[in-house]
Amino acid sequence: MLSSEHEISDGAIELADFIEGRPRALLVSEVAALLSVSSRQIYKLTAERRIPHLRIAGCIRFDPAALAIWLREKTARAEATTVSDDSWKNDGTGWSFESGTHE
């Protein structure tokens, strides 16, 4: 149970800090609740190896420290790429950022 959920929403602590302070490996349902996504989405991320996880006797678990690092990296990357939509282009293989397009 997430007893300090109100602290996260109030901004008292960052989500990564809250996760890192967890005393044990996290379950899929717990990670889904913390990230406000479905358990199905967490399973998809683990299958694609896009989120750090452990497999223990066929069960998926998450190391809080590794998950906190991953979340901080994702947050930093998202903040670094926050730019105007005018700088993004689709070359047919996906969206990419073109630096220097603003004048």
Would you say 10 and 49 are in contact if contact means Cβ atoms under 8 Å apart?
A: no
Q: What is the DSSP letter of 94?
A: -
Would you say 42 and 32 are in contact if contact means Cβ atoms under 8 Å apart?
A: yes
Helix, strand, or coil (residue 84)? coil
Over the chain, what is the mean pLDDT?
A: 80
In tens, the pLDDT along 10-36 reads 444 689 999 999 999 999 999 999 999
Q: Is the pTM of this model over 0.85?
A: no
Please state, in angstroms and rounded to a whole number, the distance separating the CA atoms of residues 58 and 89.
42
Q: Where are the domains of the chain?
A: 5-84
Helix, strand, or coil (residue 100)? coil
Which structure tokens are listed for 30? 């717990």
**CATH T-level assignment (fold) for domain 5-84:** Arc Repressor Mutant, subunit A (1.10.10)
Backbone phi and psi for residue 4, each to the nearest 5 degrees, phi listed first: -110, 30
Q: What is the pLDDT of residue 7?
A: 45
Which H or E run includes 88?
strand 88-90
Q: At what angle do helices 39-47 and 28-35 cross, to 10 degrees?
A: 110
Q: What is the pLDDT of residue 93?
A: 56
